[in-house]
Chain A
């Protein structure tokens, strides 16, 4: 049995989320934030107002009523940007800074890796790569990449 939340969430004409609490207060520009975006993306989502104050806490996305969940998922999809690297196509050099051409779950792109220290080891076997503009690229399992990608990647690890 899923308890219905005691607040209402809707999208206004400006594309912002509006949250109305049980006591009738309305907050505009509410933003859903994942607490564990990498390790447990669907667990623990905070709804915060534009000042960063938490308004509501969602334990598990899957426990929400469908309508609310779709709304949140669409909002998250429009905000979250962590392309997952599926394949390394080429790297310009093995010394940094190096330009990488990669195939991600969001199509192909290129980015500049400033230094090897921008490749962060998460819980093995995941890697998080920050590019020169601070965009984070995720490699969920570096051993699951194809041989060519692994060989290229190995040179930087």
Chain B
């Protein structure tokens, strides 16, 4: 960070000018009047912090303010204002614990005051301290330290990167709920199939019309054939044949159209479902490690698998049926109206009641079904937890406990389902009852009308035929309520994934680095996981080709640092630069191509060994694969396998030993030839002799690359140019093995502790051997 040299003491007035542009934006309305009353004529507000907790950690508003003359504090509870003019020895500092930030004002001999705030205000607190410190410096020494020249975000003062228009911190803070018409959003996936959908709709229209012909024909059959016969006239066979063939024809047309419609629409909905599934999966893979850390595998699998399927069924079956039903009701209404308006009105009377009933139940069912989904995910989660951990379960003989855990989840599932079913089961019979009552009304009104000679018997028959279908459809339409709600709940859960913005965002205007030398620089890197700050103010510069070992107790932040360098997470403070460019301004995938990662637990995908080695570079030739395997000392053991490079390895490479799997993953990293290499405990899970094998492979890998290695076993790091010792998230020592041993600090103690431990694990000789080997080579 370039800071301009401070000039000779300036006048106070000049200091104002220098500060005016960085002064705080408008004070919150609630405070501005009080602050204005408090300020002296030439006093200027420079920064402020709105706190939301009082001394006993209860929610209460307060304001802390830095002006060019003093520090002020006021609270909403009382009218008093406390203030501290600048004087030598003052200091303002912040710390945080469990989500609560604490700001402390101390003099040399005692603490003067302290305030609490929730971490939402942490950035403002940092800014306040910054302004306070500068003003204090100005008042004590007369010179004003220059502000940093970096471009800062106007609202939170996070440094902005080249090519960044929006502040990544602020834009991450958008907490908006996804819009409610979730199902309508599926339209985005339906658009490519507009043509087929339109065809399907037209077919529905025609098909429905065809099904409405038969009841209409009952009218003349009754009035022109049956009733005259009862009155003594003969039946005209030609007329009967005409009507009956009309019935048959309508049925056949309806059948053909119905088949075509169902086929086309099922085809389309299946494709929409598949698109949705792929889109969700694709988006899921772009999300950061943070997202996967917070979700359970079972839940994510259920969302992508069964939820998309449910939506699919909804689109192809239920929605289709519903559309047909609506069409049918509209058409039936028109036909009934054209026959006899009065009777039609009576027939349609129960419709609004049923619609109202549906509406009432809708809300209850929707929440119910959402809960059913979540409970179901809970059941799968129990499975996803237990099955991978089956060895632990068996070893501790806890089968019964796990069963009871499953039973509890299942009982919960039952209970929730029971509650939903209570409403749901009442729903269908009620609709049926209303249907019967509706029919009753039509019968009664029809008979009365016939008695008064207003309508013929045929008309009543036709009406009864129509409305028995009509109400039948209403009954099935009522089902749409539950399936729509289920599908909407499913869609919401899918859009939850689709709407999730990666916390490792792609830069708006990316910088491209075609060639990377491998210079890595960490500048004041800090990372906060939830309320816990994991690493603090780490600054390391790594030259191209240098090998740096990260050493420290577990939990000291080694793996976090590696995750930050790989950009699995983004730093909370500071920046990581590669070849002088902030990694946040590089496209994520492009950046990761420059990094080879070898993990403690090598993950092999289902497939052949060759495919696994070529995972990072699928286009690699066989010769390249073999060369990489040779360099990784994996070639020989691969040849010993029955099918050589074509041998299949399982989900976790079950058939291979830990060392063998590790060497395959080293070959994988070698093949992409990355300028930067990260070894995260690459040899921790194997025994000493295997470690030596792997070490030989690693020596090939490390050559000529910038390497960052984490190792618990310090012997692994014998080749490191520099060791960085971490403790509780901060760098405590940096130097070579000899230097660090000589200063007898943190590293020395770690090394001693390990040397003691290895006695019983037979590792001491291996360290000595390693040292001796090093001696020979030199």
Contact = CB atoms under 8 A, between A and B. Distances in A.
Interface of A: 13-15, 51-52, 77-83, 92-99, 104, 106-109, 112, 114-117, 130, 132-136, 154-155, 157
5 contacts: A52-B728, A80-B98, A117-B299, A135-B100, A157-B374
A81 B57 CA distance: 7
A117 B177 contact: no
A13 B176 CA distance: 45
- Residue of A95, A106, A116, A136 with most chain B CB atoms under a 10 A cut-off: A95
Nearest to A106: B58
Contacts of B56: 77-78
Given A13-B109, A135-B99, A157-B374, A115 B294 contact: yes
Interface in B354-373: 367, 370-371
A13 B180 CA distance: 55
B415 to A, nearest CB: 12
Interface string B164-201: 00000000000111101010000000000000000000
B175 A99 contact: yes
- The secondary structure that dominates the B interface is mixed
Contact of B59 (A82, A107, A116, A134): A107
A55 B122 CA distance: 31
B309 interface: no
Nearest to B100: A81
B531 A134 contact: yes
B267 interface: no
Contact of A154 (B177, B178, B371): B371
Q: What is the interface of chain A mostly: helix, strand, loop, or mixed? A: loop
B60 interface: yes
A93 B58 contact: no
A97 B177 contact: yes
Contact of A136 (B99, B178, B728): B99
B475 interface: no
B502 interface: no
Contacts of A99: 175
A79 B118 contact: no
A135 B118 contact: yes
The 4 nearest A-B residue pairs measured at CB: A13-B110, A93-B177, A134-B531, A134-B530
Interface string B295-311: 11001000000000000
B703 interface: no
A60 B296 CA distance: 37
A135 B532 CA distance: 11
Interface string B93-121: 00001111000101001110010101110
Given A13-B109, A116-B374, A135-B118, A83 B59 contact: yes
Nearest to A96: B177
Nearest to A79: B97
Contacts of A112: 175
Contacts of B418: none
Contacts of A14: 106, 110-111
B261 interface: no
Contacts of B55: 78
A80 to B, nearest CB: 7
Contacts of B110: 13-14
B295 A95 contact: no
B119 A134 contact: yes
Contacts of A117: 294-296, 299
B531 A135 contact: yes
B492 interface: yes
A107 B367 contact: no
A13 B111 CA distance: 6
B118 A107 contact: no
Q: What's the interface size class on B, roughly?
A: 35 or more
A103 to B, nearest CB: 10
B52 interface: yes
Contacts of A52: 728
B43 interface: no
Interface string B266-306: 00000000000000000000000000001110010000000
Contacts of B182: 95
A140 to B, nearest CB: 18
B436 interface: no
Nearest to A95: B177
B177 A133 contact: no
B698 to A, nearest CB: 33
Interface in B504-547: 530-532
A157 B59 contact: no
A79 B371 CA distance: 36
Given A95-B178, A97-B175, A81 B98 contact: yes
B294 to A, nearest CB: 6
Interface in B19-61: 52-53, 55-60
A95 B491 CA distance: 12
A96 B496 contact: yes
Contacts of B294: 115, 117
Nearest to B174: A97
B119 A135 contact: yes
Contact of A15 (B97, B114, B180, B296): B114
A14 B114 CA distance: 10
A115 B177 CA distance: 10
Contacts of A83: 59
A157 B177 contact: no
Contacts of B371: 154, 157
A115 B728 CA distance: 30
A109 B52 contact: yes
A149 to B, nearest CB: 15
Contacts of B374: 116, 157
B490 to A, nearest CB: 13
A134 B177 CA distance: 19
B724 to A, nearest CB: 20
Contacts of B114: 15
B367 A154 contact: yes
A67 B114 CA distance: 23
B30 to A, nearest CB: 15
A30 to B, nearest CB: 14
Contacts of A136: 98-99
A135 B52 CA distance: 13
